[in-house]
Amino acid sequence: MTFLYPDSGIHLWGFSHELGAVRRSLAELERDNLICNKAGDLAAQGYKQNCAIGPDDSLQSLAAGSFGRLLRQCPAPRALVFHHSFPESACLPPDSPERDFISRARYFPPALMRQFKLDPLPYLVSFGSGCAGLLSMLMTAAGLCQNSSGAPVLCLTADVKPPGTTYDAAREKLLMSDCSSGFLAGTENRGYRLLGISFYSTARQFVPLVEIVKMTVQMIRDLAKAAAVDLPSREIVLHYPNAFPAAWDMVSRYLQTPRERHVVDGLADRAHCLSSDSMISLGKWHGGGAGRVHIVVNFGSGVHLGACLLSEEVLP
C-alpha cells in the first residue's frame, strides 16, 4: 500500500519518550537468565545493555511519563491513538481472580486516561504491526487529521516485557528494552511534514533479511518517485530501527546514502525499543534545516515492513 499526502498539510511534532529506569549489562542479563542468546552473540550485533522497568514500576507508570509530557503540550487532543508491539501490553493484569470477563477487562488506554482525568475522548488501539507501530499510528492519525483543522491527535506507544519471557529473540539475535514514546499529529505547520507512507504485510512467519533489504530499497525508491521527491538532489536522513544493523548498512549502500546520514540511534546503550526507536531518533534529529528529507524505515513482527517520507520544517 502507498499513501500520499502532498496537499494534506499533516505534521508531526512534540516527540517524547520514557525508558525503563533499570540498566543491565549483557553479562547481568545472562547471569539472571533474562536472555536466551549468549551475551557474546548479542555483543556481536552491537548491543551492550538494555533498559527495563523496576520492581515498583508498571506499563502504566512507564507510559505516564511520556503521555504526561505530550498532554502538557496539548491538553485537549481531538483523539488518542495507541499502539503496542506486544499484544499482552494492550491490557493490564486483572486486579482480582474475578471470572466475569467484563470485570477482568482492564484495557490499557482507559486506565491511563482515567489517571489523567481524560473523558470522553475517542481512542483507537493496534498491536498487530509489531515494531512498525510508528507507521500504524501515523496512518490512523493522518486519516483523523485529513480535511480537518483543530486540535492535534496524540499518538502513544508503550511496551514492557511480558511475564515469563526474555528480553531477546533467539533466532534474530535481537535485544529489546521497556519503553514508551509518542508524538502529536495535526495540521499546525511545525516539526515534520508527512509526504507519504509505503506499507507491506505478509502472512509468512519469517522473511530472509536479504529479501527485506531488496524490498526496503525498492519501497523507498517507489515512494520517493510517487511523492515527486528526487532523492539524489535532496539532503537525506535515513532512520533505521535498532535491529539488524548489517541489513540497514546494505540498504544505505544501495541507496548511495552517505554513512553520516544513516541513523541507528543508541543501539549499544538502550538496545531495541520496539516501536519507539523511530520516535526517539526523529525527536533528536530535528533541527538540521528546513526541507531536509527524513526517511523512516520500520520492520515489525507480523511481518510488516514500511517506510515513510517526512520533510523537516523550521519549527520544532
Tens of pLDDT, residues 252-278: 999 988 777 899 999 999 999 999 999
pLDDT at 64: 97
Length of the chain: 316
Q: Are residues 101 and 217 in the same domain?
A: no
Q: Quick one: cell of 142?
A: 493522518
For the chain, give the percent of residues with pLDDT over 90: 75
Core vs surface per residue 191-224: b (16+ CB within 10 A) or e: bbbbbbbbbbeeeeeeeeeeebbebbbebbeebb
Mean pLDDT value across residues 236-262: 90
Q: Quick one: cell of 282?
A: 526523529
Tens of pLDDT, residues 186-232: 999 899 999 999 999 998 888 898 999 999 999 999 999 999 999 88
Give dist(CA 227, CA 87) in Å, integer.
Answer: 33
Q: Are residues 79 and 54 in the same domain?
A: yes
Give dist(CA 74, CA 78) in Å, integer.
Answer: 10
pLDDT band at 303 (very low <50, low <70, confident <90, very high): confident
Burial of 30 (0-12, 13-18, 19+ CB in 10 A): middle
Can you give the pTM of this predicted structure? 0.93
148: left (phi over 0), alpha (psi -120 to 50) or beta: beta
Question: What is the three-class DSSP state of 138?
Answer: helix
- Helices 209-226, 245-255: axis angle to 10 degrees equals 40
Integer-rounded Cα radius of gyration of the chain? 19
pLDDT at 314: 67
Q: Are residues 175 and 203 in the same domain?
A: no
Q: Are residues 82 and 96 in the same domain?
A: yes
pLDDT at 250: 94
Tens of pLDDT, residues 130-155: 999 999 999 999 999 876 778 999 99
Q: Are residues 206 and 303 in the same domain?
A: yes
Residue at a domain's end among 186, 207, 227? 186
Domain enclosing residue 141, as ranges: 11-186
Q: Are residues 95 and 109 in the same domain?
A: yes
Please give the residue that has the higher pLDDT: either 60 or 91: 60
Q: Are residues 23 and 133 in the same domain?
A: yes
pLDDT at 221: 95
pLDDT at 239: 96
Residue at a domain's end among 156, 186, 216? 186
Q: Are residues 64 and 81 in the same domain?
A: yes
Here the CATH number for the domain that contains residue 41 is 3.40.47.10
State the total domains in the chain.
2
Q: Are residues 33 and 171 in the same domain?
A: yes
Give dist(CA 161, CA 157) in Å, integer.
Answer: 14
The DSSP-derived string for 91-103 is BPPPSS----HHH
Q: Quick one: cell of 288?
A: 538540521
Q: Are residues 169 and 74 in the same domain?
A: yes
Tens of pLDDT, residues 71-125: 999 999 999 999 999 999 988 877 666 666 666 667 899 999 999 999 999 999 9
Identity at 18, one-letter amino acid code = E
Residue at a domain's end among 186, 208, 238? 186
Mean pLDDT value across residues 146-170: 91
Mean pLDDT value across residues 282-299: 88
Q: Are residues 246 and 171 in the same domain?
A: no
Q: Are residues 75 and 100 in the same domain?
A: yes
Give dist(CA 51, CA 234) in Å, integer.
Answer: 36
Tens of pLDDT, residues 19-44: 999 999 999 999 999 999 999 999 99
Answer yes or no: is pLDDT of 68 > 60.
Answer: yes
Four-point Cα dihedral 111, 177, 270, 312, nearest 10: -50
pLDDT band at 290 (very low <50, low <70, confident <90, very high): confident
pLDDT band at 302 (very low <50, low <70, confident <90, very high): confident
